[in-house]
Amino acid sequence: MPFRLEPLDLVLILIAALLLFGPKRIPETARAIGKSIREFREAIAIKDEPEPEARAKVAAQKPGQEPAVSRAAPAGKDELEPTTHQTTEKIQSG
């Protein structure tokens, strides 16, 4: 059973919005929602495009060669930072 929005449903939604936000805030709210949707779509479009560096690496790669994978630690992570398990053991033993 597909979801259908009938004209009466739209009228009820508009009346509820008018009661909740008031006549002055509805245009502001609609503008903000539209801007958010636009930014979301732009972010998705940017995410789908490969970065120029990645494109250059793929273009320089020989056919049949496996891609080079970076084994670097994630940014902001200290490799010497103890794990939760190690910290718990220190607390219990001390």
Query: What is the domain partition of the chain in residue ranges?
Result: 23-59
76 or 53, which is more confident: 53
DSSP state, residue 1: -
pLDDT at 50: 63
H-assigned helices in 22-83: 25-48, 52-60
Predicted local confidence at residue 77, as pLDDT = 53
pLDDT in tens, 20-48: 989 889 889 889 999 999 999 988 887 77
Residue whose pair of structure tokens reads 């259908």 in the numeric block: 4
Residues 51-72 have pLDDT tens digits of 667 666 666 666 666 655 555 5
Q: Which residues touch 50 (CB under 8 Å, ≥6 apart)?
A: 58
Residue 74 has pLDDT above 60, yes or no: no
